[in-house]
Structure 1
Amino acid sequence: TNKLTMSLKGAGAIRFWGFSPAVDVFKRADGQIEDGEADHKQPFNVLLVCPSDVRHILHTLSAAAIRETEQNQRQGAFEFTVYEEQPEALARQLLLLSIALDAEVPRRERAELLLEILSNTLLREKTASYLEGRAQMLRRMLAQEEGPMARLIDLSLLKMKERDALEEVIGSWFESFEFDVVRQRDERLRTYYEGRYDSRLNVLDWDYTMELQPIASIVHKVHFREWRMTGLAFELRDSNYIAPNRSLASFAAGRLRGASVFKRGFWGDVINSPFAAVGVECDDERFVKQKNGQHVKTACDVAFYNVLGWLTALETGRKFTIRAEDFEAFEYGASVATSGGMVKGFFGGRAPSPRIEEAEEA
């Protein structure tokens, strides 16, 4: 898979999203699968090293659900071992996975929430409240091993201090914790642009035209500019984004008056947009078609389609499809997608439940 990285200088100390599109790792491993994994007598084991988000997990499991339901190919258990260097990245992946599997929220709304929390520095107030609810659920899972995620997550590979760090990160997502993400992101931009800060619009226009457009032209210039300037990648019409996305707060090492310190702030990417992870590739060729030299859909639409597709397959085992008469109206935030629960989904009994192992150290 090609990386769509424009600059590592502004990538920050922590990666909150990946630099490459999602892959079905089971399909990618074709020809390298051991006998026990091929006949499903033992789980299919995957090691993900610093994936930054859960796109590979969701894509792999949704593809497996489709193979089992629509192609009658029996699927065995999956075990994902995730290695991340920072607890913030690991905590975020637990958060994103919990959103994807939240049966209480309709699929369309859940896809919007997942993309918003994955990518945006600012959230709607309702999303901020939802994030705090997810934090409460994850803290209960860590402390008491209770809740809907407990049967899917194995934290036994974490050392006690790593588990404590994970709990501390999740605890900082509550609205009582101050996080001035607008100011802190602006400080990062000033550091990155230096003397070019006042002309940063010209700089990012150059970056888009010369670096991004040749490899990912489906990312619209307006969306790219908005994200680079404000940190907002996915916006719904008539919505106000005023609450900080506390899941993007993290600690980074630095020096103060000659002493080593850890400073809490926004240390994520300010140059390479989250569109590369979820919004530049999909399995429906209609999304990448152009008319009169212009794309008929945007990276936001592709991302929405991808996430809806993953959620739909996990719940129903069926591929998410858009009828020809609905395609033009389908866009990020549109109501063409249907909702549904997870009672009889891929996680509900048609195949052995996948287990995700989280580890910070090998």
Structure 2
Amino acid sequence: MEGIGTTSLWSLCRAIDFQDLQTAIKERDSSEILPPIKDASDVNAAPLKILLLGASDPCHIIKTVARAGRHGRRNLEFVVVESQPTTFARMIVLLDALFSESETGLQDRINLFLDLYGNLLLRPVTFTHLQHRSTHFISTLPTSPTLALAPHVRITTTLLKFREKDDLDTTFQFYRSDKKPFDLAAMWDARLRRYHGARYDTRAAMVDWDYNLKLVPIFPTLDVDTYNRFRASGQCFPIRESGGSEANRTWATVERLVDPREKVGVVKWGYFSDVVVGPWGAFGGDCEDKSVLKTRNGVKVCDVGEVVEKVVGGLVREWKGRRGITREEVDSGIREIPDGADEDNAHPPSERKPTTTTIHLATPPTLPKLPRTFPTGFDHIYISAAMAHRLPEVSPFLASPTSNNSVNASKLDSRPTVIVQNVRYVIDLTKEQRAEYTKTVLAMAGKMGLEPAKHPAMEGEGGEYFIFVRGEERVVEE
């Protein structure tokens, strides 16, 4: 799996709203969203607890938090388990870019996020922002176990060891440093040379093969120009025709490399991630506004970068507005306020008190201790493909069925679930390797008393996720 590297920076599969598990299959049409605002009947319900194992990308957190207003007022608790502190640092930076209480305009906030998320080289203004916020995190995290991104979104480090907190601090020190050179463009080229090998000089033909024969059949929103630009330079989201000039240090990870002369392991900063698929899977594969997915005369109305911008923009608008009243107001970010009323009092009480989100950071050695911290278990457990071997270890953490669910939850949403990422977009795998992965995941789940949730989109092996429930709770979606 040389093409996707040893460390993941982004999700290859779609982002999930854990209060609407249909989003693991497809996005709803815009005509189906924004149900009537719920009352406050579920405000005292136990928080919805979600374990994210190896997700490497905050996309699931972003979508679940942004759309929390659609599902009542149930608070959210995430436990994010990652092996590398660099992944935590990148998550914090990306969540801060979208959710921080700053005066940054909506479009500037979206551009900032996209620049950090999917561009090898940053605009100078983005790099300055990264340095400034890294300094803030360095001064805040050692003095407080809780980092408040917004009044109702906070990150805690109480589950991390002191050494892991020091590693997190070191990562932020690296982010803000501009004294030591970090030639990310040269590292990108080195990754390409290693991946292509003797065929490096004919890589254009290899890129064309990967695009047309491997990705287009499973990722129809991906356009050829954007994909070619990513494979050549690592730039995925052109912003206002401005080019990047500073290395995106949030893409850097740490690996232990063996010195060929000394024969000893040396820890190095470098780029060890994806060079073949790209960062569009989380937000670029589908959209509630289906008009952006259309084609005219065989040409896509929007390229995949514009689809991502549309989706992320909609999520930010929805989060900022807490709950929308009409689809047009969510899209425009504008809502009429009655004459003589101030903006805060123009909203019903349930709107003025949004859900509280707590994000706990943890590492794999902490897993055996989680049942003591969360004795009732987790409502949803997400496991990435890289962590699928830990399915037997974490499946006992699944909560028992409870009545504390959203009022309008579907049958599948109302069950504790284990969601395992499929290898649909790992294009270097053979058909036999994919089949073996599927067989192994199903076998491990079966031994733990889990069965696939019966859903029309779960049939076959082409889905992005396996969704499991306890055997006696198997459900059938209409």
- Give 1:169's match in structure 2, choosing from 168, 171, 188: 171
Kept in 2: contact 1:95–1:138 (CA 8 A): no
Residue 28 of structure 1 aligns with which residue?
A: 21
1:1-362 equivalence runs, <5 A: 8-28=1-21, 40-67=44-71, 74-102=72-100, 103-145=102-144, 148-149=148-149, 152-174=154-176, 175-256=178-259, 257=261, 258-318=263-323, 321=327, 349-361=352-364, 362=367
- What is the CA–CA distance in structure 2 between the aligned matches of 1:107 and 1:66, rounded to whole Å? 21
Q: Deviation string for 1:109-130 (max 9, x for gaps)?
A: 1111101101111011111101
SS of the residue 2:270 aligns to: strand
Q: Deviation string for 1:276-310 (max 9, x for gaps)?
A: 12211111111111222222111111100111111
Judge which range, 213-222 or 349-358, deviates more: 349-358
The 3 A distance-change label for structure 1 pair 337 and 140 is farther
- What is the CA–CA distance in structure 2 between the aligned matches of 1:315 and 1:355, rounded to whole Å? 18
Q: Deviation string for 1:137-176 (max 9, x for gaps)?
A: 2212212227643871111000111111111111100123
Q: Deviation string for 1:220-273 (max 9, x for gaps)?
A: 100000001000000123312111111112211221132122221111211120
Q: Deviation string for 1:159-215 (max 9, x for gaps)?
A: 111111111111100123421001111111100000011111111011001011111
- What is the CA–CA distance in structure 1 between the aligned matches of 2:62 and 2:126, rounded to whole Å? 21
Segments of 4+ moved more than 6 angstroms: 343-346
- What is the CA–CA distance in structure 2 between the aligned matches of 1:129 and 1:99, rounded to whole Å? 13
Letter of the 1:28 counterpart: L
Kept in 1: contact 2:175–2:249 (CA 8 A): yes
- What is the CA–CA distance in structure 2 between the aligned matches of 1:43 and 1:322, rounded to whole Å? 30
Kept in 1: contact 2:322–2:354 (CA 8 A): no
SS of the residue 2:103 aligns to: coil
Kept in 1: contact 2:82–2:363 (CA 8 A): yes
Letter of the 1:241 counterpart: G
- What is the CA–CA distance in structure 2 between the aligned matches of 1:101 and 1:227, rounded to whole Å? 27
- What is the CA–CA distance in structure 1 between the aligned matches of 2:240 and 2:334, rounded to whole Å? 20
Quote how far apart the aligned CAs of 1:38 are. Answer: 6.6
Quote how far apart the aligned CAs of 1:349 are. Answer: 4.9
Structure 2 unaligned residues grouped into runs of 5+: 24-40, 336-342, 368-478
What is the root-mean-square deviation of aligned Cα atoms in Å? 2.7
SS of the residue 1:144 aligns to: coil
Quote how far apart the aligned CAs of 1:318 are. Answer: 4.0
TM-score between both structures, scaled by the size of structure 2: 0.64
- What is the CA–CA distance in structure 2 between the aligned matches of 1:122 and 1:22, rounded to whole Å? 24
| Larger relative contact order (CA 8 Å, sep ≥ 6) | 1
Counting matched residue pairs gives 329
Q: Deviation string for 1:320-348 (max 9, x for gaps)?
A: 9569xxxxxxxxxxxx96699xx9799x9
- What is the CA–CA distance in structure 1 between the aligned matches of 2:334 and 2:131, rounded to whole Å? 23
Kept in 1: contact 2:68–2:355 (CA 8 A): no
The 3 A distance-change label for structure 1 pair 46 and 321 is same
- What is the CA–CA distance in structure 2 between the aligned matches of 1:358 and 1:83, rounded to whole Å? 6
Structure 1 unaligned residues grouped into runs of 5+: 1-7, 31-36, 68-73, 324-335
- What is the CA–CA distance in structure 2 between the aligned matches of 1:138 and 1:310, rounded to whole Å? 25
Kept in 2: contact 1:117–1:123 (CA 8 A): yes
Kept in 2: contact 1:66–1:313 (CA 8 A): no
SS of the residue 1:235 aligns to: coil
SS of the residue 1:355 aligns to: strand
Kept in 1: contact 2:42–2:73 (CA 8 A): no
Quote how far apart the aligned CAs of 1:352 are. Answer: 3.7
Kept in 2: contact 1:275–1:299 (CA 8 A): yes
- What is the CA–CA distance in structure 1 between the aligned matches of 2:321 and 2:143, rounded to whole Å? 30
SS of the residue 2:360 aligns to: strand
SS of the residue 2:113 aligns to: helix
TM-score between both structures, scaled by the size of structure 1: 0.84
Letter of the 2:225 counterpart: V
CA radius of gyration, larger in: 2
Kept in 2: contact 1:219–1:299 (CA 8 A): yes
- What is the CA–CA distance in structure 1 between the aligned matches of 2:50 and 2:194, rounded to whole Å? 38
The 3 A distance-change label for structure 1 pair 127 and 357 is same
SS of the residue 1:41 aligns to: coil
SS of the residue 1:93 aligns to: helix
- What is the CA–CA distance in structure 2 between the aligned matches of 1:161 and 1:150, rounded to whole Å? 27
